[in-house]
Structures are given as C-alpha cells and as structure tokens.
C-alpha cells in the first residue's frame, strides 16, 4: 500500500484489492467453518502459529482477516482481532493482561457496560479495580499499586466527553511498566490514533462509527501481534467470541464511507453544541469543540476533529430530561450511537443504569444528562427538533430535581 496516501484514501484501499480470480472489487464473503490443508505438516504449522492461515471458524475467517488487517493498518498497530461485540473487545483486552490477584486502574468516567463488567464479573476472577480521575496525572501515579497490571481509559469518555491526555498517561504507564488500553470508539482512527500517542492496545465497538449503519454488532482490538495472537487463541477462541463473515463484510463496506460520514457527524455536532450552549434551559453542554470544555486545548492537539457525540444537562433533572427526549420527533430514543440517524438517550436510566445513583453523580452523570448521537441529517432539521423538544419542558419541571 502507498505510504503517502491520506487517511481518506487509506480507509478505502488499505488491505483490499480486486480478487485475483474474478476481478471483483468488493471483498469476498467467505463464511466457511472448515479449511483444507495440502498435508498434515501444513495443518500443524498453522495451528501452532508457525505459518499464516485459518484452520477453524471459531478463530476467524478470510473476510474477517481482511477487516482485521485493515483496521490494524489504520490504527498503526501490528495486528487486530475482530470479535462479536464491543463488550467482547473490552473484556478480552482486560483479561489478556489481568488474572487472579491483579489490579487495574480505570478512568472514572466510563461506559456503563465496562462498569458492569468490572463490578460484577471481574471480582469473580479475583481481579481488583479502582476508578480514578485520569485528568489528574498525580492521582493516577498515586493510585498505582504493586499488583496494578493495566490502565484502561476512554477518551473522549462516554457520556461526559472528558478528554484524557494519552501521551502523558502513556508516559506514566511506561514508568510503572504497565500497558494502557484505550477505547477509541467515539473517535475512530480517522480522528485519533492512540497507538501513535503511546497506547499499547486500542479497542472499538465496531457496532458504532466503523460500521456506521446500525446493522452490525461487533468489536475490534488492535495491538502488537503477540498480544493479538494470545487473545485470539486463548481468550476469544476458547470463549467463542468470534465475529462472523457477514458482519465483517458489512463493516468493510461501511468503512469505505467512514471519512465522509465522520466529517459530517463532526461538523453537525459542532453546530448543535453551539446551539444548545445558548439555550437558557440547558445547564451545561459537554462537547470538546466548545471553548468552555475543560480539555478544549488538549482536544485540538490530540484529535483531528471533535466527534459526533454531544451530551448536555437539562435544567429540571429527571422529569425535564425525559419530557425533552419524549417530545423529539426526528431524533429517536436508542441505546446506540454512530448511525446515520440522530439518536438520543438518557444515560442515568439507560446505558449507565447499572451504576448506582451515588456513583453516577461522582462520574458526572446527573439525572438531567442527555446524550445525543448526531446523525447525517441536515443539521438545521436536527436543531429545529431539539428546539421544539426544549419548548415542551414546563416551568414547573425546570424547578424539579429528583435522583433515581
């Protein structure tokens, strides 16, 4: 592949070329489970990892392999592993570095599914964890224990869009000789490449912007080849978390338009954040593209653009927030993000409901917080929809606050 190509060109052409037999430009869909070998020696070499190849569908397939190589190249990693969901990617990445008796530091502003895994499943494996304010580098250093084996972060975080300094945190991790895992779902490699900033492993919910069409559930992990090989054989394969060929094909198709899609998501989100920031019934807007964002300068340095997610706090708390989203006509209430459609959700009662109310408030997730995944519609139409939704909030609601 040409190394001087821009990202827009690479997302279309990297790791893909016309089929040598048919000339087909689209990637072949190969859902095979079993693969034949010319002799027993070749089969043994592939199973042992001494020779490149696929030997059983639970460990991958040729369509998936193209996707893995493509995302690895876009992220600047040695290899990648495609798995059955974003949570599969997160759990595999954590379990690759953690075992009974180990400890992991986790950014305090984290996706509800990650929180649930850490609080419900990790203790069953004997894994300890602490949530830490990763914007405070000294606090991160002081939180490292003798048995700390990894640092896990999201940046920007879900749903408060806290931006963390990947380079500075990676320096701390290298000082203590622990790997850093970064959830890059909100940014995609188009906007941010954590590995090039010092991270060791990147995870994605490929369900979101990588696929971009709301019709796939998938995850991807990117890192060094020996790490990915271990995850593939000893975690993903043994737990049966493989990604199938059809969904791999759909993500490959979606990736070809990622540049155009992400640019539109970002430009529209900026307009919407500026609109919301001017509304009297909005207490706070979280968007890295606003000068008022605490890490605005860092975001401009670390990210190519500011992403398609805007979160904001409605005055009046729970009742006002629910009235607002129930009044929307264009935006749809949904748990997902990164789709062509504008999607809205209430984190306290939806994606982050597994976090106790007291803990949610520590993480900045109030009952009035709304997360908006800005779609590909005309931004003027989205803004009009938000305006009429805000107009449905009554004065009585603005004076009411209740924690659930």
58 among known catalytic residues: yes
Q: Which of 211, 233, 255 is the last residue of a domain?
A: 255
Select which of 183, 200, 339, 385 is catalytic.
183
**Residue 391 neighbours by CB under 8 Å, 6+ apart:** none
Q: Are strands 219-223 and 79-83 parallel, antiparallel or unpaired?
A: antiparallel
* Whether pTM exceeds 0.75: yes
Domain of 180: which CATH number?
A: 3.40.640.10
The torsion region of residue 78 among left (phi > 0), alpha (psi -120 to 50) and beta comes to alpha
**Which of 111, 190, 209, 287 does the annotation list as catalytic?**
111
> In the annotation, is 208 catalytic?
yes
Expressed as residue numbers, the domain containing 276 is 258-398
Looking at 227, 255, 283, the residue that finishes a domain is 255
In a domain, 35, yes or no: no
Helices (H), 122-180: 137-143, 166-176
Annotated catalytic residue: which of 35, 55, 56, 58?
Answer: 58
Task: Tell whether 360 is covered by a domain.
Answer: yes
Both 244 and 309 in one domain: the answer is: no
> For residue 402, what pLDDT is reported?
44
3-state percent breakdown (helix, strand, coil) of the chain, nearest 5: 45, 15, 45
Instruction: Note if 133 is an active site residue.
Output: no
Buried-exposed string 28-47: b where 16+ CB fall within 10 A, e elsewhere = eebeeeeeeeeeeeebebbe
Contact 195, 77 (CB under 8 A): yes
Instruction: Based on the residue annotation, tell me whether 111 is a catalytic residue of this protein.
Output: yes
Whether 228 and 360 map to the same domain: the answer is no
Q: Are residues 363 and 323 in the same domain?
A: yes
266 lies in some domain? yes
Helix, strand, or coil (residue 310): strand
Whether 357 and 380 share a structural domain: yes
Collect the ranges in the chain with pLDDT lower than 50: 402-404
- Residue 229 shares a structural domain with residue 269: no
8 A C-beta contact, residue 30 and residue 245: yes
Kindly state whether residue 55 falls inside one of the protein's structural domains: no
* Core vs surface per residue 145-178: b (16+ CB within 10 A) or e: eeebbbbbbbbbbbbbbbbbbbeebbebbeeeeb
**Which member of 108, 149, 208, 232 is catalytic?**
208
Tell me the three-class secondary structure of 169-188, residue by residue.
HHHHHHHHCCCEEEECCCCH
Same domain, 235 and 363: no
pLDDT in tens, 249-294: 999 999 999 999 999 999 999 999 999 999 999 999 999 999 999 9
Q: Is residue 276 part of a domain?
A: yes
**Looking at the 3D structure of the chain, how many domains does it have?**
2
pLDDT at 399: 66
């Amino acid at each position: 592949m040409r190394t001087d190509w821009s990202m827009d060109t690479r997302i279309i052409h990297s790791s893909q070329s016309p089929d040598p037999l048919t000339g087909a430009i689209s990637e072949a869909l190969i859902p095979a489970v079993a693969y034949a070998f010319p002799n027993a020696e070749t089969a043994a070499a592939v199973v042992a990892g001494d020779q490149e190849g696929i030997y059983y569908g639970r460990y991958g397939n040729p369509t998936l392999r193209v996707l893995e190589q493509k995302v690895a190249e876009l992220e600047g990693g040695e290899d990648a592993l495609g798995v059955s969901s974003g949570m599969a990617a997160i759990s595999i990445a954590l379990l690759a570095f953690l075992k009974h008796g180990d400890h992991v530091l986790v950014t305090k502003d984290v996706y509800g599914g990650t929180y649930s895994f850490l609080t419900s499943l990790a203790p069953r494996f004997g894994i300890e964890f602490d949530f830490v304010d990763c914007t405070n580098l000294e606090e991160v250093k002081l939180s490292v224990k003798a048995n700390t084996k990894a640092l896990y972060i999201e940046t920007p975080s879900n749903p408060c869009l806290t931006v963390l300094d990947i380079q500075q945190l990676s320096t701390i991790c290298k000082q203590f000789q622990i790997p850093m895992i970064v959830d890059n779902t909100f940014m995609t490699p188009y906007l941010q490449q954590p590995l090039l900033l010092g991270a060791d492993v990147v995870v994605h919910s490929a369900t979101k912007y990588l696929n971009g069409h709301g019709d796939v559930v998938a995850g991807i992990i990117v890192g060094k080849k020996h790490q990915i090989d271990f995850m593939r054989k000893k975690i993903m394969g043994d737990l049966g978390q493989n990604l199938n060929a059809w969904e791999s094909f759909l993500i490959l198709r979606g990736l070809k338009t990622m540049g155009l899609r992400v640019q539109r998501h970002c430009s529209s989100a900026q307009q919407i954040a500026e609109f919301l920031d001017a509304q009297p019934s909005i207490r706070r807007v979280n968007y890295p593209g606003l000068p008022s964002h605490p890490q605005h300068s860092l975001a401009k340095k670390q990210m190519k653009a500011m992403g398609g997610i805007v979160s904001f706090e409605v005055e009046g708390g729970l009742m006002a927030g629910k009235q607002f989203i129930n009044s929307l006509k264009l935006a749809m209430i949904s748990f997902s993000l990164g789709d062509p459609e504008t999607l809205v959700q209430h984190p306290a009662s939806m994606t982050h409901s597994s976090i106790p109310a007291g803990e949610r408030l520590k993480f900045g997730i109030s009952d009035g917080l709304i997360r908006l995944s800005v779609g590909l519609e005309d931004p003027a139409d989205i803004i009009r929809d938000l305006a009429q939704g805000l107009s449905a909030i009554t004065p009585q609601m603005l004076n009411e606050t209740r924690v659930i």
